[in-house]
Structure formats: C-alpha cells, structure tokens
A and B are shown apart, each in its own frame.
Chain A
Amino acid sequence: GQSLEQPSEVTAVEGAIVQINCTYQTSGFYGLSWYQQHDGGAPTFLSYNALDGLEETGRFSSFLSRSDSYGYLLLQELQMKDSASYFCAVRDRGNQGGKLIFGQGTELSVKP
C-alpha cells in the first residue's frame, strides 16, 4: 500500500520562504504531486515530479529524491493568499491510470 507523511501545520511570515516536506512509502512509485486547497474548496494541482530533482513553477518549486522516498514543496516570496492546505500525493500505478493517494495535508498560515 501507500502512505504519506507531512507536517500538520506550518507558520511563516509574508515575504519569507517555507518548505513543506513529504515522506512516502509505496509499493511502486509513479511520481509525487502537490495540491493546494483553500478553505475546503476545490484542490488545485500545483506540481508533479516523476524524476529526482527540482521542478520550478514561478514562486513554487517541488523537489523529489526517490532514493530517500522524500519530496518537498518550496514556496518563495510568501503572500497572504498562500495561506491554504497543501497536500502531497502519489499515484498507485503508472500511466495506465490509477488513483492518487493523498497525505493528510499541511495547513500553511502566512502572517503579516
């Protein structure tokens, strides 16, 4: 089966950089994804890492180390609107489809 662990909450100040870590255990690995959810709304896809290394999309970056079963989401130049829950997720099979298994989420609070 699959399981993911991430911190339950993180607090940071506006303009700062924050890193949200995710460790996973999977029977087969098909990539690590990150989603953002504001106040119980629709989760939105942020990034996906299939291979080791850093993927950058604007202020957000995501990193993966398959040998360590570890990844993180890096948010730079934090803004108040970044206050949200962030979920890491792994797919349970490859490109033939398969469900995403989500972590319990990290609630990020950005303070002025």
Chain B
Amino acid sequence: EAGVTQSPTHLIKTRGQQATLRCSPISGHTSVYWYQQALGLGLQFLLWYDEGEERNRGNFPPRFSGRQFPNYSSELNVNALELEDSALYLCASSLRTGPQGYTFGSGTRLTVV
C-alpha cells in the first residue's frame, strides 16, 4: 500500500512569489491535514480537509490556502511568500473515523530567499 506522498521534496522560492505544494493521501483516507514545522520547532496546524471541504484552519494568515480534489488529494498554496514561511510542510491523512493515528508524508522543504 502506498503511503502519503508529497511533492515536490524541496522548493526554493523568492520572497513575494507563490508556492504550491501537493499531497496524495493513502487510498481510502478522506481526511487530509497540513502542518508547518519550522526548523527545530513543533508541528503547527495549518488546514484540515475532508470530503472536499475545508473543516478547520489554524492561526495562519489568509495567504495560506488550499483545496481537496474529488480523489482526496490536496494542494496547499502559499501566496506572497515571506522569509519566515521557510519550513517543512507536512501532510497527513487519516480515516474520517476510526483509529486515531495519522500517516504523514515526508514533507516539502520550502525555502524562501
């Protein structure tokens, strides 16, 4: 069974540009979660999508947005990039109900220069 896949692995952008990060959940998982992990810090919740709808968002500005497609894959968009957006962006998927564990992807390392 394929795990959660994220692309690209690394992304370098210039301040002010836009970044698009992609995530494919485990087959059968309908929920997708996005987290930001700045260097050496914990996981900060960004967004939660389920069945194509945004269910919850963390304390991030509106320039962080995303969507979930009919096949449950998801996209995170970050507009007007700032230097402090440099971080590891992790995607996780889970079943809507059932076991409490998330399965994480390996992340996209975004560097803003």
Contacts and interface: CB of A to CB of B under 8 A. Distances in A.
Interface of A: 30-31, 33, 35, 40-45, 48, 50, 87, 91, 95-105
Interface residues of B, number: 31
Interface of B: 4, 31, 33, 35, 37, 39, 41-43, 45, 48, 50, 55-56, 58, 88, 90, 92, 96-107, 109
B97 A41 contact: no
14 contacts: A40-B37, A40-B88, A42-B90, A43-B104, A44-B104, A45-B101, A95-B98, A96-B96, A97-B50, A97-B55, A98-B56, A99-B56, A102-B42, A102-B45
Nearest to A97: B96
Given A42-B104, A45-B103, A105-B41, 7 more contacts: A33-B101, A43-B43, A91-B100, A96-B96, A99-B58, A100-B33, A104-B41
